Every structure is written in C-alpha cells, then in structure tokens.
Structure 1
C-alpha cells in the first residue's frame, strides 16, 4: 500500500468507517438474529429514502421487539407501520410494513428463520446468495448488495464484495476502482465492510470526498 492510499484509508476508516449495521445498533455476528436484522436494514435502505431515516426506522423496529422473524410476524401490520413512523420512515411505511411481514414469513417457512441456511443452500456463492435474497419482498439488486457488503464482515465466503457504488466512491478519493486491488488495502473482512460503508458515503457526497482527500494530504 502506497503512502497516499494509506493516508486516504486512515481518514476514511476514522471518519466514515462505521457500518450501517453498526449505526442501526446491530451487533453483527454469524447468528440468526443479527443476520435477520441486517436483512431488515437492507430492505429499509433499498427505498429512495435517506440512510439516516432508514437506520432510525430499523432502530425503532428492533426496539419494539421486531428484530426476529417471529417478532416481525407476530406484530400487526399497524404495529409495524407505527414503528416505521416513529423513525420518520413515512413515505413508504404501509408498503414496507407489508413487505417486512411477508419477508419474515418467507424466512421462517423456507429457511426456519436462519439466513445461514440460505447461505448454505447457495453453497456460499455470492451470486447465488444475492439471487435468493432477491426473493424477499423489497430486496432487489441494490438491497442484495447492501446485505452482502455488510455481511462480508462475518461471512468470509462472500468477501470481497465491493459493488459499483463502493467502487465509484473509491474513484472519487483516488483509490483503485477495481475490486481485487481495492480489497487488498483492507487488513480484514471486518475492515473491508467498514471501508465499503465509508466509500458508499463518499459516493453520495462530493463534499465528503473532497474532505477526505484534503485531510489525507495534511
């Protein structure tokens, strides 16, 4: 790693390297509950709504007891709408409440509430995992990418997963725009997930990209 890349990496990870799962209060591990919570978060982040609102809505759902497939299924449609509303997730609240309920049913009925079973069905192949994830209501290619770039911290089978938004952010701060060279800059899969989150934030804001570049040259 060159001095310039290292300086940029240090700034990215220090200032913007918190995963979206971490922001939502998810203690991510290879266990059914946090993996399901990540799926819920990916569903919320998939809508055309700010990441801050999606994270806040996820926190409200989990605080209300809907952080497991069982809890989500047993909540009424209105209960879920109300929790989303408390997180200011109002534009898509009714549709999203329905999707979350159906998604919890699918996960319970097909994979017994455990996304590790989905991963095993896909034999750990990231493309197949993405395909299966897109069977959940509200999860399309964007949602599958969100899930995979966060879960790579605890699912080494899918690492590295650096989608186009991540690579776009890398280009804006002068890091490699190819997956393998960029992945080599991270020292662990956890750091790779944090780097991905930071670069997503950079990709959305020219001001943030300029700030990172300026700080890295000091």
Structure 2
C-alpha cells in the first residue's frame, strides 16, 4: 500500500462530508460549504467548526434565505450549542454573508463559478468578499469544491502541502494529483490537512 493509499484510508473524508453536507453542484449544498468554510476559517479546532455547521444545518439554516431570515439571537443560540467561539461576531457575519450571496449571486453560487471562468484566483477574490472569509477560508472552500467543480483541480493549498511534506510526499500539486483519481482530490486535500494538523494521523499512515 502506498503512503497516499494509506492516507486516504486513514483520513480521506472531506470536511463537508463530516459536517453532513452531501456536496453536489446545487445551490443548497454549495451554500452550506460556504458556511462551513466561514466557520473553519477562524482559529478554532476543526471539530468545532464542523459541529457548528452541522448544528446550523440541523436547525434549518442551510440556505441563504433561511440564514438571513433567522434572528441574530437564533444564530447565536445554535452556535452556542456547538460550543463555537465568537458567537456574536459569527452570527452577524453569517447574516451579512447570506445577504451578500442573495444580492450578488441570486442565492446560487453556481453563478460565482461561472463568473470565475475556471480561474482559482478570481474565485478566491469573490469568496473573500464574504464576511469573515479570508484567504484561509477561500482555500478551504476551493479545496472541497473541486470535488464537484473539476475546473479548479488540483487545489492543494499551503496547509495541504505542509501535510505532504510531513509524510515525505512530493509538494508539487500536479505530482500529487497524478497519484489519485480526479474525483479523489478533495479527499486527498482534506487528508493532507489532517496529516499536517494531527500527529496521530501521521503516525498511523507512516506505520502502515
């Protein structure tokens, strides 16, 4: 078994999947991925961001209309149940971000995809207009969305490449991408991020 095979077996679950998002090129799951990216872009444990996103979806706030229409306090209460930090600022950002998605993209991030024209830099420029979604969050979104937006493959950002380095793998995105099926690139990216963050993942993979 190669290191990459072992890595995918050990940690090859996308963060979207972990948050209960069945990702597809449709408005609702794409918006939920955007929310997840906002939550994960803060300096919090990934588990907290994933849990907060799942709580928001379970509370019925998985579309920009529902997120916008929820009260500020309702959003805070959901985030607090997930023990997410910075609940007040995040509640405000989620409401403003939902309004931006509705105003700029008609509630449908596929329009953002079309406007980006396959250029990752342009896509990230649009993404960073979303409140509390900086370059880190834009990378998270692009890493995950490449599962359904193949024109942005391969997207292996600095965090993913740090994981590759820790495992003794190539740090060239094209070389890494050549070792998996294109549909597995988002899984590989998530697994590499976990390898960077979690010593136990590195140990388990390298022991295989």
Q: Please give the TM-score of this superposition, normalised by the length of structure 1.
A: 0.93
Question: How far apart are the structure 2 equivalents of 1:207 and 1:108?
Answer: 41
From 190, 193, 196, the counterpart of 1:203:
196
Per-residue deviation, 1:19: 0.2
Question: How far apart are the structure 1 equivalents of 2:158 and 2:179?
Answer: 17
Per-residue deviation, 1:135: 0.2
Residues 1:107 and 2:92 aligned together: no
Q: Determine if contact 2:55/2:78 at 8 Å carries over to the other structure.
A: yes
After TM superposition, list the pairs within 5 Å mapping 1:182-193 onto structure 2.
182-188=176-182, 190-193=183-186
Question: How far apart are the structure 2 equivalents of 1:110 and 1:165?
Answer: 29
After TM superposition, list the pairs within 5 Å mapping 1:38-57 onto structure 2.
38-57=33-52
Question: How far apart are the structure 2 equivalents of 1:201 and 1:32?
Answer: 27
Question: How far apart are the structure 2 equivalents of 1:207 and 1:122?
Answer: 38
Per-residue deviation, 1:211: 2.0
The answer for unaligned runs of 5 or more in structure 1 is: 1-5
Per-residue deviation, 1:206: 2.7
Partner deviation per Cα, 1:47-73 (whole Å, 9 max, x = no partner): 111000111100110011100000001
Once superposed, what is the RMSD of the aligned Cα atoms? 0.9
Q: Determine if contact 1:42/1:147 at 8 Å carries over to the other structure.
A: yes
Q: Determine if contact 1:173/1:210 at 8 Å carries over to the other structure.
A: no
Q: Determine if contact 2:97/2:131 at 8 Å carries over to the other structure.
A: yes
Question: How far apart are the structure 1 equivalents of 2:16 and 2:198?
Answer: 20
Question: How far apart are the structure 2 equivalents of 1:11 and 1:148?
Answer: 24
Per-residue deviation, 1:140: 0.5
Q: Determine if contact 2:112/2:123 at 8 Å carries over to the other structure.
A: yes
Q: Determine if contact 2:11/2:201 at 8 Å carries over to the other structure.
A: no
Partner deviation per Cα, 1:32-56 (whole Å, 9 max, x = no partner): 0000000000000001110001111
After TM superposition, list the pairs within 5 Å mapping 1:1-218 onto structure 2.
7-89=2-84, 91-188=85-182, 190-215=183-208
Question: How far apart are the structure 2 equivalents of 1:176 and 1:78?
Answer: 47
Question: How far apart are the structure 1 equivalents of 2:52 and 2:35?
Answer: 10
The answer for unaligned runs of 5 or more in structure 2 is: none
Which deviates more from structure 2 when the two are superposed, residues 79-88 or residues 202-211? 202-211
Partner deviation per Cα, 1:60-109 (whole Å, 9 max, x = no partner): 100111000000011000000000011110x2111000000000000001
